[in-house]
Amino acid sequence: MIQTPIKLVILTGASASGKTTISKRIAAKAAPFISCLYFDSIGVPLPEQMIAEFGSGENWQRAKTFGWIKRIQEEFLSKGKLVLFDGQMASPLFLKHARPPKSPTVKRSWLIVMMSRESRLRINRRQPELADARMMDWARFLRNEADADSILKLDTTRSSIEECVFEILGVFVV
């Protein structure tokens, strides 16, 4: 059975999981065939601003995620373009709302990036303050969410950047 190529791959995971490094490498190799978009390109306001404008950081993330969903659908998927979206957001929002038209199952349109981020934050990036319990809980939440939704996972802990890039590019042509 010949399957339709995947139109949307979403890299999600906690800080320092390798999302942006991988997606920038894909952008360098696959542009203009794959449009690479970055959630963080819209900027992240201070927590006080998120609370003042949206009531909480979670509400800000939800509103911005829906904005991205709309943009991806209208500007890319509706025109048959392939999209790689790099963002640190909870997957149920996309699973429920970003179903690419005429695509195979949404679960095959997903990729979650995960890795042992604590050592990378403490040693490689020299940002030990980001390896606090709250952020480690967020990383664990994203991994558990992927397991619960049977989302394809890519463990960047044991793979090189090039191996990850190769695997992700392969998802687009399945």
Instruction: Tell me the domains of the chain and their CATH numbers.
Output: 8-172 (3.40.50.300)
Residue 65: name the closest of 95, 104, 35 by CA: 95
22 vs 38: CA distance, rounded Å:
12
Residue 138: name the closest of 51, 15, 44 by CA: 15
Q: What is the mean pLDDT of residues 146-157?
A: 70
pLDDT band for 105, please (50, 70, 90 cuts).
very low
Q: What percent of the chain has pLDDT over 90?
A: 16
Note the pLDDT tens digit of each residue in 43-95: 989 999 999 999 998 889 888 988 888 898 889 888 888 899 998 776 655 65
Half-sphere exposure of 56 (CA within 13 A, CB side): 3
* DSSP class of 76: I
Model pLDDT, residue 95: 57
Task: Give how far Cα 159 sits from Cα of 46, 55, 154, Å.
Answer: 34, 39, 9
pTM of the model: 0.76
Do you know the residue count of the chain? 174
The mean pLDDT of the chain is 76
Q: What are 82's strand-pairing partners?
A: 34
- Long-range contact list for 119-124, CB < 8 A, 24+ apart? 120/16, 121/15, 121/16, 124/16
Helices (H), 15-108: 19-30, 47-54, 57-71, 91-97
Note the pLDDT tens digit of each residue in 127-142: 777 667 777 777 777 7
Q: What is the mean pLDDT of residues 1-6?
A: 54
23 vs 164: CA distance, rounded Å:
10
Q: Are 116 and 66 in contact (CB under 8 A)?
A: no
